[in-house]
Amino acid sequence: MKVIEIKDVNKIYNSTEIKVHAVNGVSLDFDQGEFAAIVGPSGSGKTTLLNLLGGLDLPTSGKILIDGEDLSKLKSSQLIDFRLRNIGFVFQSYNLIPVLTAEENVGFIMALQKIDRKEREERTWSLLKAVGLGDRLNSRPAKLSGGQQQRVAVARALASRPKFVLADEPTANLDSKAAKTLLEIMEKLNREEKITFIFSTHDPRVVKMARRVITLEDGKVISDEVKKQSNDPENG
């Protein structure tokens, strides 16, 4: 089942006199349960593409359909609500709310969705447990390591029960051990819970683990490779 359909999308930035064709005629589909990496050198358009997928930015031309819903048809206020209900975000620099504890950071997004307190607490707890932070519920971000913060960010991204999670260079600021733990957690969530993850990344560790690798260059898709999985018994 297709979660995301990208149809001939272009994104052109008109800054002063220089036109930047950041995304150039990209067409891609993503299915439920994918674990995909978008790779490419700096300036290849990975982040722009991710922003377009996340409804943070709108394409200059072309269509992006999420579960059949055309993002460009939504007003900006509807778009925010759409993001809240459908898309989980993990950012390169974690971006947790510094004044809230891990538990509150995860619960916050559900509060925005008006989920009642009891359900919020239960889900928060189980998510933080899933990312291996069941004992750090009451820690504020400043008391957590980078890897731990990014795991809280993953828990937060999942809290809203999104259709997919977009992760923009999630391991860029982590050491290899923390990056490995984080990737394993995400891979496990993907495998067991069928959660769709799409990364933009430079990181060979992420690329190695991804089951689909899309390579961009100058805003164009130059390769889209689905790997044979050895570590996933269900995906044969």
Partner 1 sequence: MITEIAWKNVWRNKPRSLIVIAAITVGVFAGVFSIAIMNSAIVQRIDASVNEELAHIQVNNKDFRNSSDIKSIIPDYNQVVSEMMSAPGMKEVSGRIIIRGIASTSARSTGVEISGINVEKERRMLKLADKIIPGTGTFFESETRFNRAYIGEKLAKELNIIRYNLDEEALSRLREKGVPEKIISGLEPIYGERFTSGRKLQKAVENLLGEKDYKKFINPVMEAAWSYREGSRIILTFVDINNIQTGAAFRISGIFRTNNDMFEETSVFVPEEELRKLTGLKDNDYHRVIGLLDENSFTEEATSEIREALSSYEVLNWKEIQPDLAMFADMMQQIYGLFMAIILAALAFGIVNTMLMSVLERTKEIGMLAAIGMNRRRIFIMIMLESIFLSIVGGLSGMAVGGTVIALTAKKGINLMQYSEGFEAMGYSAHLFPAIDTNFFIITTILIVLTGILSSMYPARKALQLNPVEAIRTE
Q: Which of residues 150-169 bind partner 1 (CB under 8 A)?
A: 156-157, 160
> Helix, strand, or coil here: 172?
coil
For residue 109, state whether it binds partner 1 (rule: CB under 8 A). Answer: yes
Cβ distance to partner 1 smaller for residue 84 or 222: 84
| Stretch touching partner 1 by CB under 8 A, among 91-99, 187-195, 201-209, 227-235 | 91-99
| Contacting partner 1 within 69-88 (CB under 8 A) | 77, 80-81, 83-85, 87-88
Binding mask 50-69 toward partner 1 (x if CB under 8 A, else -) reads: -x--x-xx------------
Question: Is there binding between residue 93 and partner 1 (CB under 8 A)?
Answer: yes
Structure tokens at 36: 């995909």
Structure tokens at 1: 């089942």
Rounded to the nearest whole angstrom, what is the least distance from the CB of residue 229 to partner 1 in the complex? Answer: 30
Is there binding between residue 122 and partner 1 (CB under 8 A)? Answer: no
CA distance 134 to 52: 34
Q: H helices then E strands: how many in the chain?
A: 7, 10
The edge-to-edge listing of strands for the beta sheet with 87-90 is 87-90, 164-168, 196-201, 35-39, 212-217, 220-226
CA distances from 16 to 13, 45, 58, 118 (A): 9, 19, 19, 52
- Min separation Cβ 12 and partner 1, Å: 15
Amino acid code (one letter) for 47: T
Written as six digits, the tokens of 233 are 């018994």
Report the residue from 108, 181, 187, 207 that binds partner 1 according to the rule CB under 8 A.
108
- Regarding beta strands 35-39 and 196-201, do their DSSP bridges make them parallel or antiparallel, or are they unpaired? parallel
Q: How far is the CB of 222 from partner 1 (least distance, A)?
A: 24
Nearer to partner 1, 19 or 85 (CB): 85
First to last CA, the chain: 17
Q: How far is the CB of 95 from partner 1 (least distance, A)?
A: 4
- In terms of CB distance, is 200 or 211 closer to partner 1? 200
Tokens of 33: 């349960």
Residues forming contacts to partner 1 in the complex (CB under 8 A) are 51, 54, 56-57, 77, 80-81, 83-85, 87-89, 91, 93, 95, 97-100, 107-109, 111-113, 156-157, 160
